[in-house]
């Protein structure tokens, strides 16, 4: 039997939505992830959050500083998502890994000045694959089209190694946001080509990454 939403639950969702990840909200409210997403959309919470999003505010020196860390210890990518073996969408992501927690915390604190960036799309965690080392290794991941574009636009003049990736990710985001309800529309071939270009620019030599890149290339060439 379908479980109906009460007015109290709707109010709770509206209060949690701007400050907590959707998965965490789902667990706390005893609802499925898809149910939370659907109700948030029906209540207009996504649109409200987007209207309240403030641009990232950093000084020239801070932008250059962040660009240096991302060039050296970061990754700018478009993550292709598959469902039942079929490509359905791509997610823009900026990541930084470093053994110094202070650096990760500082970047996260600057991202937080944008208001929305300290919520569902930004998280800090100790990387499990580094647990065998004598020192901890920390990871910061930033997602969400508007917030990723804001960060990349701020640091773009100072990027050197990963400038091309940033330019293509920004172009991808602009394409998605230029269409009505772009986040929910089927991706067009030009957008998938941008995804492939970023995969190729990152050029990871790890076997799983090579396999995923070849699989994506075959898909794009079939469009």
Q: What is the pLDDT of residues 109-150, one digit of tens each?
A: 777 533 333 333 344 555 555 555 566 677 788 877 877 888
User: For the chain, what percentages of helix, strand and coil (3-state, to nearest 5) are there?
Assistant: 60, 15, 25
Hey, what are 87's tokens?
């490509």
Q: Is the dihedral of CA 197, 122, 34, 27 positive or negative?
A: positive
Pairing of strands 74-83, 86-98: antiparallel
Encoded tokens for 67: 């660009």
Sheet holding 138-143, edge to edge: 74-83, 86-98, 138-143, 122-126
Burial of 42 by CB count in 10 Å (0-12 exposed, 13-18 middle, 19+ buried)? Answer: exposed
What is residue 179's predicted lDDT score, i.e. its pLDDT?
72
Structure tokens at 196: 């492939």
The position carrying tokens 């604190």 is 109
State pLDDT tens for residues 197-208: 999 999 888 888
Q: Which residues of the chain have pLDDT under 50?
A: 113-123, 182
- C-alpha span between 26 and 183 (Å, rounded): 21
Q: What is the pLDDT of residue 41?
A: 83
Q: What is the DSSP string of 147-201?
A: HHHHHHHHHGGG-STTHHHHHHHHHHHHHHHHSTTGGGSPPPHHHHHHHHHHHHH
Contact 81, 91 (CB under 8 A): yes
Instruction: Check residue 70 and give its pLDDT.
Output: 93
Residues recorded for the chain? 223
pLDDT at 117: 32
């Amino acid at each position: 039997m379908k479980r109906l939403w009460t007015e109290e639950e709707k109010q709770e969702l509206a209060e949690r939505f701007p400050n907590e990840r959707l998965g965490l909200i789902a667990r706390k409210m005893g609802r499925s992830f898809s149910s939370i997403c659907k109700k948030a959309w029906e209540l207009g919470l996504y649109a409200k959050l987007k209207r309240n999003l403030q641009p990232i505010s950093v000084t020239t020196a801070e932008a250059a500083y962040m660009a240096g860390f991302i060039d050296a210890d970061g990754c700018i990518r478009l993550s292709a998502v598959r469902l039942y073996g079929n490509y359905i969408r791509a997610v823009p992501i900026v990541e930084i890994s470093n053994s110094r927690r202070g650096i990760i915390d500082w970047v996260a604190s600057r991202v937080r000045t944008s208001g929305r960036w300290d919520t569902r799309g930004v998280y800090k965690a100790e990387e499990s694959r580094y647990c065998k080392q004598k020192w901890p290794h920390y990871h910061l991941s930033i997602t969400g089209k508007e917030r990723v574009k804001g960060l990349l636009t701020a640091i773009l003049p100072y990027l050197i190694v990963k400038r091309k990736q940033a330019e293509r990710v920004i172009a991808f985001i602009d394409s998605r946001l230029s269409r009505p309800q772009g986040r929910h529309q089927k991706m067009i071939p030009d957008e998938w080509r941008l995804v492939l270009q970023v995969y190729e620019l990152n050029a990871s030599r790890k076997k799983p990454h090579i396999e995923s890149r070849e699989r994506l290339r075959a898909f794009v060439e079939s469009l």
